[in-house]
Amino acid sequence: MRRPDGLETEPMEKSKLTDRQLSQIEVFGFLHFPGLLSDRIDAIIDAFEAVWADRGGGHGGHPHTGETRSCIVPFIDQSEYLSSLLDDPRVDGIAASLMGDDYNYLGSDGNYYVGDTGWHSDGGWPRPVTYYKFALYLDVLTRDTGSIRVVPGSHRYGEGFAEATQEGLGGGSEDIWGIPGDEVPAVAVETVPGDLVVFNQGTKHSAWGGGDRRRMFTLNYSRRHAEEELPILRQEVSNFARFWLDSVYGETMVRTAGPARMQHLEQALANQDHLAELSRKAQEEAAEPSRG
């Protein structure tokens, strides 16, 4: 059965990406699912705001001032309702289509963004394993009011266009090309609450013209790492230390996990024994947890 959002639904109601959608994200690096979670969006927004209220309203337990980004990591893990997004057959089905049924969920960040977000890929360049980000934007966002913009094909490590884009944006688009960041040729993925945007974390993305409380949160994923790739996974886990965390996941996420969800948590849980010490050192070296 084909739904209006373009996904195929199996009898068990678990969504599956079509071959065309898989080709799109392989070539262009992103997919947009308009209205995919519109039936849940009111409860999602309520839960989003409740997490912030429970954590002081902004970054590091302090109110959000609107001057700079506020960030909570892990985010959906703080809420039983938001944690259940991992189990939603639409979200789970997209993740399984991209990374296999035994994929890894690798944490979540919740944000109040402020102003522009410059061009970047997430993580290093190149990365030895493919990582995906599932993003939900909780305000109506257009090209000029902070919607995500992407450079299609910029995730394809080693190819001429992607490497030239990495060099140009990494060196500053105005210095390299004479183009301001907000004029770099790109696709603006305009969204309304209830949409889902999925992208390869290598895809260059940015946002321009946003306000001082732009609400969004993400879920991060990878395929399960092979035995010889576990050092790579452990390095990914190490990156959580800057958020002053002893675990990749929040207590609520783990406590409410059934067997199906736990499959997506178990590999990181088994490879985070070094995180607490790294987090302790990070707290000695920084005045606050990282803002992203």
**Sheet containing 196-200: which strands, arranged edge to edge?**
30-33, 196-200, 131-137, 214-222, 104-113, 70-72
| pLDDT of res. 3 | 45
Model pTM above 0.85: yes
Task: Give the start-to-end residue ranges of the domains of the chain.
Answer: 18-285
166 closest CA partner among 115, 197, 205, 222: 205
Query: Could you tell me the two tokens for 32?
Result: 């947009």
**Banded pLDDT at 7 (limits 50, 70, 90):** low
- Angle CA(27)–CA(215)–CA(69) in degrees, nearest 5? 95
Residues with Cβ within 8 Å of residue 65, at least 6 apart in sequence: 58
Query: What is the rounded average pLDDT of the residues 134-144?
Result: 98
Judge whether residue 42 has pLDDT over 50.
yes
- Work out the burial of residue 70: count CB atoms within 10 Å of its CB; fewer than 13 is exposed, 13-18 middle, 19 or more buried: buried
Length of the chain: 292
The pLDDT assigned to 64 comes to 97
CA dihedral 51, 69, 59, 238 (to 10 degrees): 90
* Each residue's pLDDT tens digit, 230-253: 999 999 999 999 999 999 999 999
Report pLDDT for 13.
78
- Classify strands 187-189 and 148-150 as parallel, antiparallel or unpaired: antiparallel
CB 129 within 8 A of CB 138: no
CATH 2.60.120.620 fits 18-285, yes or no: yes
Residue 10 has pLDDT above 80, yes or no: no
Contact 114, 214 (CB under 8 A): yes
Q: Is the dihedral of CA 45, 46, 47, 53 positive or negative?
A: positive
Q: pLDDT tier at 6 (50, 70, 90 boundaries)?
A: low
